[in-house]
Amino acid sequence: MSIFSGLEEIVEKDYPLAKRTWYGLGGPADYFIRPKTTEQLREVVKRCNENEIRIYVMGFGSNLLIGDDGLRAAVIKLESEQFSQIKYSRHEVIAGAGAELSKLVLKCVEKGLSGIEALTGIPGSVGGAVKMNAGGNFGDFGSAVESVTLMDSAGKVFEKSKPELEFDYRKTNITAKFVLSALLKLNESDPEQIMRTVKEIWIHKKNNQPLNTKNSGCIFKNPAGASAGALIDRAGLKGLQIGGAVVSEKHANFIIAKEGCNSRDVTRLIDAIKQRVKEHFNVELELEIEIWD
């Protein structure tokens, strides 16, 4: 009897994960699973636990590198209507984990709701944005999140709210495996004024980031009181290339995947950057990107 008997419509085997990431790199997953309901998700988790199958949760694959050999695991993606819907109620928004962050930002602008426009131009899902507290120079997601609905590895659904729910630089204190949805508290504002802010942020990113390339956003977190990109630049690493992976000339904290690049090229370049920055500045760079292998 198959491990996922009765769930065949939501389970794909030997799934090529590369097509699900912004890098377009990496090998296949043993199982790629897209539950349609919380009940299906709970059943999938139960079967994985019973059969000792590792579980990874994938958002939009924008800040992710998959190893060349793929994953002996189940990769779960919450993208069905139940997990992607957004509900608006005056100053509050409930956004499903599978909702697209960039669309949520623009919809809030249309409705005159201010508080997440700082996330303009940041790709990804709401769930991923919660888990890593997505943000940039202009602010982060956590400042707008009031509470989250979560599911743990045993299939238990529960809520976590501020102040118990804490957001820090590119991390939260959420340990549960799955973010199901987030409740945002926003402020009423003039849509035209918010849109002006959105345009200013977008122009800044367009001028300073290699947007039209195969990349995964910032590779490293900024060390306390410093800029990872500036340190990499000062270490003379712009343009450094290993295999098909190259440090962006436009923003040194981006690694671009050129034709023929594989995941190993990217990880080797990451190691070379960390070593050089350590030698020059005695700073240990910490990864912002997730690497699954």
pLDDT at 90: 86
- Measured CA to CA, the distance from residue 38 to residue 81 in angstroms comes to 11
Q: Among 77-81, 133-137, 260-264, which is the least confidently predicted range?
A: 133-137
Name the amino acid, one letter, at 104: L
pLDDT at 1: 55
Fold classification of 8-77 is 3.30.43
Q: What mean pLDDT value characterizes the chain?
A: 96
Name the amino acid, one letter, at 183: L
CA 80 remoteness from chain centre: 18
Residue 40 DSSP symbol: H
Tokens standing for residue 15: 């799934």
Q: Based on C-alpha coordinates, what's the Rg of the chain?
A: 20
123 versus 71: the higher-pLDDT residue is: 71
Tokens standing for residue 216: 């995964």
| pLDDT-derived band at 136, boundaries 50, 70, 90 | confident
Question: What's the mean pLDDT in 176-199?
Answer: 96
Please report, in angstroms and rounded to a whole number, the separation of the first and last CA atoms in the chain: 28
pLDDT at 137: 82
**pLDDT per position as a tens digit, 190-225:** 999 999 999 999 999 999 999 889 999 999 999 999
> Between 3.40.50.620, 3.90.76.10, 3.40.50.300, 3.90.78.10, what CATH number should domain 228-292 receive?
3.90.78.10
| pLDDT > 70 in the chain, percent | 100
Name the amino acid, one letter, at 102: S
Residue where the block lists tokens 């790709």:
123
**pLDDT per position as a tens digit, 48-79:** 999 999 999 999 999 999 999 999 999 999 99
Q: Write down the domain spans for the chain.
A: 8-77, 83-207, 228-292
Residue 226 DSSP symbol: S
Name residues whose C-beta falls within 8 Å of residue 156's C-beta, 6 or more positions apart in sequence: none
Architecture of domain 83-207: 2-Layer Sandwich (3.30)
List the alpha helices (DSSP H) in the chain: 38-50, 81-84, 101-110, 126-131, 191-208, 228-234, 263-281
| pLDDT-derived band at 171, boundaries 50, 70, 90 | very high
Residues 235-248 as b/e (b if ≥16 CB within 10 A, e otherwise) read bebbebebebbbbb
Tokens standing for residue 211: 């947007």
- Measured CA to CA, the distance from residue 27 to residue 71 in angstroms comes to 7
What DSSP element (H or E) covers 113? Answer: strand 113-114
Question: What's the mean pLDDT in 276-286?
Answer: 98
Q: Closest by alpha carbon to 216, among 285, 139, 270?
A: 270
**Local structure of 257: helix, strand or coil:** strand
Task: Report yes or no: 196 and 117 within 8 Å, Cβ to Cβ.
Answer: no
pLDDT at 211: 86
| Helices 101-110 + 191-208 axis angle, to 10 | 150
Question: What's the mean pLDDT in 17-44?
Answer: 98
Q: How far is CA 269 from CA 95, 262, 282, 290, 293, in A?
A: 36, 11, 18, 15, 16
Residue 28 has pLDDT above 90, yes or no: yes
- Measured CA to CA, the distance from residue 291 to residue 141 in angstroms comes to 22
